[in-house]
Amino acid sequence: MAVERHRRPPHTAETTLLAFAASSVCVFGEQRLNVEVAAVWRGSVMALSVWLAVLATFWLSGCGSMSPPASSVPAPSVRTAVFNGSAVSSDARLVAQWIAASGDNAGMGFVIVDKKSARVHVFDANAHLRVSSAALMGSAVGDDTAPGVGLLAIADVKPEQRTTPAGRFVAERGRNAHGDDVVWVDYDNAVSMHRVVTQVASERRLERLASSNVDDKRISYGCINLPVAFYENHIRPMFADQSALVYVLPEVKTVQQVFRRMADAASRR
In this prediction, residue 51 carries a pLDDT of: 61
Residue 211 has pLDDT above 60, yes or no: yes
Residues 169 and 209 in one domain: yes
Residues 54 and 159 in one domain: no
Residue 195 has pLDDT above 70, yes or no: yes
Residues 119 and 21 in one domain: no
Residues forming beta bridges with residue 263, ordered by sequence position: none
The answer to the question of residue 29 being in a domain is yes
How far CA 148 is from CA of 67, 158, 163, 188, in Å, comes to 63, 12, 13, 9
The answer to the question of residue 72 being in a domain is no
Residue 34 has pLDDT above 60, yes or no: no
Residues 113 and 41 in one domain: no
The string of pLDDT tens digits covering residues 83-124 is 999 999 999 999 999 999 999 999 999 999 999 999 999 999
Residue 160 has pLDDT above 80, yes or no: yes
* pTM score, whole prediction: 0.72
Residues 170 and 251 in one domain: yes
What range defines the domain where residue 226 resides? 90-267
- As a whole number of angstroms, the distance between CA 21 and CA 28 comes to 11
In this prediction, residue 57 carries a pLDDT of: 60
Residues 47 and 96 in one domain: no
Tell me, what CATH number does 137's domain have?
2.40.440.10
In this prediction, residue 78 carries a pLDDT of: 72
Residues 153 and 198 in one domain: yes
Number of domains in the chain: 2
Residue 46 has pLDDT above 70, yes or no: no
What is the crossing angle of helices 35-60 and 13-29, to 10°? 170
| CA 184-94-222 angle, 5° bins | 30
